[in-house]
């Protein structure tokens, strides 16, 4: 079964990268891959977030864009709070960070990776109210796996972003979204 934006339910829907400069990264991804337009949310913090079991207050700039039905996410951490982002940058530098997996049942998605023995490294509630959980699967797949709760709001948002990429002519390459509120 496919989601409205063309990716499989319970499958990879996103490839994500930590970047030093989200604006430069959007330009380069578009130039090299044709991905876009980008939907950018700069600044702010997720209302609820934990890193390795402890509260954290990571502040991010996040850009999402599509090429076909694959979403690309670019993340720039804006503060020095402990996080899965700074952890990966310290270990291997900027670049690939995680695969995003669609989870219509978030609890089942989280249980699946825990049952495989992977540690829940980060968990947050995003502005739509959906939850995300990052599992430390670096030794297996070269990056983390993010379980993304696929609520109707999340699916609608991702579908709108993907549809904006169909036939995109390069105009209006960055579309700002409101900052996150803690």
Q: Could you list the residue range(s) of the whole structural domain that residue 138 is in?
A: 12-161
Q: 108: Cβ–Cβ under 8 A, 6 or more apart, which residues?
A: none
Q: What is the mean pLDDT of the chain?
A: 93
Number of domains in the chain: 1
Q: Check pLDDT > 80 for residue 181.
A: no
Residue 55 lies in a domain: yes
Residue-wise pLDDT tens digits, 24-41: 999 999 999 999 999 999
Residue 152 lies in a domain: yes
pLDDT digits (tens, 9 = 90+) for 57-104: 999 999 999 999 999 999 999 999 999 999 999 999 999 999 999 999
| Residues written for the chain | 182
CATH number at residue 141: 3.10.180.10
Per-residue pLDDT at 10: 84
DSSP state of 179: P
Each residue's pLDDT tens digit, 96-151:
999 999 999 999 999 999 999 999 999 999 988 999 999 999 887 889 999 999 99
């Amino acid at each position: 079964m496919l989601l409205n934006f063309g990716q499989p339910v319970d499958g990879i829907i996103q490839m994500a990268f930590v970047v030093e400069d989200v604006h430069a990264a959007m330009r380069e991804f578009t130039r090299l891959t044709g991905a876009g337009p980008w939907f950018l949310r700069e600044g702010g913090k997720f209302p609820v977030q934990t890193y390795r079991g402890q509260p954290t207050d990571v502040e991010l700039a996040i850009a999402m864009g599509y090429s076909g039905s694959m979403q690309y996410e670019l993340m720039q951490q804006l503060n020095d709070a402990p996080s899965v982002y700074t952890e990966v940058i310290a270990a291997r530098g900027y670049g690939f960070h995680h695969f995003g997996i669609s989870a219509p049942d978030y609890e089942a998605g989280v249980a699946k990776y825990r049952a495989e023995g992977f540690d829940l490294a980060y968990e947050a509630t995003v502005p739509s109210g959906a939850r995300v959980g990052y599992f430390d699967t670096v030794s297996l797949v070269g990056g983390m796996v993010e379980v993304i709760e696929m609520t109707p709001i999340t699916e609608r948002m991702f579908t709108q972003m993907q549809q904006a990429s169909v036939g995109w002519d390069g105009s209006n390459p960055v579309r700002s979204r409101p900052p996150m509120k803690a």
